[in-house]
Amino acid sequence: MKKIEVVAAIIRKGDRILATQRGYGAWKDWWEFPGGKMEPGESPQEALAREIREELDAQIRIGRLLRTVEWDYPEFHLTMHCYLCTLAQEALHLNEHESARWLDAASLDAVRWLPADDQLLPLIRQELSFDLSREGIIAALESKDPAFNQALLEAGYQQKIASVGPVVYLRGLIEISNVCAKNCLYCGIRRGMDCPRYELSDGQVLQAAIMAAKRHYGSIVIQGGERKDRAFIDKITRLVKAVKAIDTGDDPPLGITLSLGEQPREVYEEWFAAGAHRYLLRIESSNPDLYRRIHPDDGLHSYDRRLQCLYDLKEIGYQAGTGAMIGMPFQTSADLADDLLFYQRFGAPMIGMGPYNPHPGSPLTLSGAPFPPDGERFMLGLKMIALLRLLMPDINIAAATALEVLDPRGREMGIMSGANVFMPNVTPAEEMVKYNLYDRKTILKDCPSAGKGENHICRNCVFPFCSLGDNLVQGKIVIGYGQWGDSKAAKHNKQCDIP
Ligand code: SF4
């Protein structure tokens, strides 16, 4: 069958979108989104800008891809890339269409849409329901309306299905050490905390990685406290090389994400050259004042330095992910909205964020500074995922373990709100219990494997991912076995817009 590739503009003005009526051809009088065929050598954005100039005499600002629709017409197969746009100027002129209307969510069905365009209506209806301006995000985060909140979580899930599909990628999480040179005020393994310390041997790390490979997880994360001593740096270099050499059968060599804090640029380069290709460094808060309040002012904990590390990681070529805590003391809804907009400006291809969970012995907890109750922090965590998915449809978003501390189905609910990465913990259980950034008693206690000397938290379960529940069984969640699971956004390598 003949194939045609086109672009279409979903032009939004306030709470309405532009529909145009065809004035020619077999589908004359039907309604569509303006746009047209891509010419050879044109990017979708170039084609869209040209088509809208030709059809409407209009200049547009082109936003994110809402969805690519695949549709079989009787004579051809259509691939239609649909972008959210706004008008750069008010005036437009109908050069090819016989009519146009601005439709709001309630009146979308008032016209007879071309079949392919009709596929977009549920997503557009959702899109029009949520205001993704800074003020709109703040209002969404502060909403106490259960119906609104539920619709937002559902919109996050639907956007995920539309932009990245139902696949959830896996990362076998290896918590290599709870020794840390830093003293973050919220953390249970901070340098100043009196707690049992551990460091996994090379053999333990490799055993955990081999287990991840055997289970076809496709990728691992090596996470630990921040250390800059040469012995530790060499150990990571050695381990990254050794993990890449693990026999994974028909799967590609394991993908490696590192999350080992701030390091000199040359150390990041060394680990990248060894084979790590993703790095997670959470900004924790994009508000420098709040960052200061949750870290000691001792010269070791600098917001600017952390930001510089993120730039370095990106420049070196890592897929540089970041994230923040949600529901901390002193944090406002505006801070959270700014965190989401920070991720967007930074062009992060992956985000790991989760609710703040207090550690009983941390200075922040002991200070008595108030923070939202569990249920509120949990809902905030889910809403942040959904809003982020709407803002950045094709990135990877992790369903953080911190969600599970607040609800036994926390990670599953994160995935059903728009997250698409799940990190089964493959750290040896006897050490896992010591990696207490926050109080993890609930998740460790509830797991049938915990504390029994088993190597894997989910080893005894019928499904390896018991906490994904019925949605896994029903196919709403599909596991991406044996894949690195890089985000679509990573392939665009979006530049950072932060000055
Ligand atoms: S949050 Fe990370 S860097 Fe800060 S003290 Fe804890 S382990 Fe160290």
Cα 160 from Cα 312, distance rounded (Å): 29
Contact indicator for 43, 117 with CB cutoff of 8 Å:
no
State phi, psi for 340 to the nearest 5 degrees. -60, -40
The Å distance, Cα 293 to ligand 1 centre, comes to 15
At residue 259, the 3 state secondary structure works out as strand
Q: Which residues contact 65 (CB under 8 A, 6 or more apart)?
A: 44, 81, 82, 83, 163, 393, 394
Nearest by Cα to 126 from 338, 389, 363: 389
Mean pLDDT along residues 337-352: 96
For 402-438, how does the pLDDT look when each residue is reduced to its tens digit (9 = 90+)? 998 999 889 989 999 999 999 988 888 888 889 989 8
Q: 255 to each of 243, 276, 319, how far by Cα in Å?
A: 9, 7, 12
- Which residue from 177, 178, 183, 189 has its CB within 8 A of the most atoms of ligand 1, so it is best to mutate? 189
Report the range of poorest mean pLDDT among 88-92, 253-257, 345-349, 486-490. Answer: 88-92
For 13-31, how does the pLDDT look when each residue is reduced to its tens digit (9 = 90+)? 878 899 999 998 989 999 9
Cα 285 from Cα 83, distance rounded (Å): 30
The Å distance, Cα 295 to ligand 1 centre, comes to 10
The Å distance, Cα 280 to ligand 1 centre, comes to 13
The Å distance, Cα 484 to ligand 1 centre, comes to 27
**Whether the predicted pLDDT of 239 surpasses 50:** yes
Q: What is the pLDDT of residue 87?
A: 86
- Which residue from 175, 177, 182, 222 has its CB within 8 A of the most atoms of ligand 1, so it is best to mutate? 182
In which band, very low, low, confident or very high, does the pLDDT at 455 lie, cut at 50, 70 and 90? very low
The Å distance, Cα 180 to ligand 1 centre, comes to 6
CA 271 to chain centre: 23
For 164-176, how does the pLDDT look when each residue is reduced to its tens digit (9 = 90+)? 889 999 999 999 9
Residue in the block written with tokens 């000397």: 453
DSSP 113: B
Q: What is the pLDDT of residue 453?
A: 42
User: Domains of the chain (ranges plus CATH)?
Assistant: 2-129 (3.90.79.10), 136-492 (3.20.20.70)
- Which residue from 179, 180, 438 has its CB within 8 A of the most atoms of ligand 1, so it is best to mutate? 180
- Structure pTM? 0.81
- Which residue from 226, 285, 357 has its CB within 8 A of the most atoms of ligand 1, so it is best to mutate? 226
**Whether the predicted pLDDT of 294 surpasses 60:** yes
In which band, very low, low, confident or very high, does the pLDDT at 439 lie, cut at 50, 70 and 90? confident
Nearest-CA residue for atom 7 of ligand 1: 225
Q: What is the pLDDT of residue 477?
A: 83
Nearest-CA residue for atom 4 of ligand 1: 184
Q: 431 to each of 201, 239, 252, 256, how far by Cα in Å?
A: 11, 18, 29, 21
The Å distance, Cα 294 to ligand 1 centre, comes to 11
CA angle (315 as vertex; 312, 319 as ends), nearest 5 = 95
**Whether the predicted pLDDT of 496 surpasses 90:** no
User: Which atom of ligand 1 is found nearest the CA of 190?
Assistant: 5
Q: Which residues lie with the beta carbon below 6 Å from any ligand 1 atom?
A: 180, 182-184, 187, 189-190, 225-226, 261, 437
Using only C-alpha atoms, what is the Rg of the chain?
24
Q: What is the pLDDT of residue 467?
A: 57
Q: What is the pLDDT of residue 499?
A: 56
In which band, very low, low, confident or very high, does the pLDDT at 460 lie, cut at 50, 70 and 90? very low
User: Which atom of ligand 1 is found nearest the CA of 181?
Assistant: 8
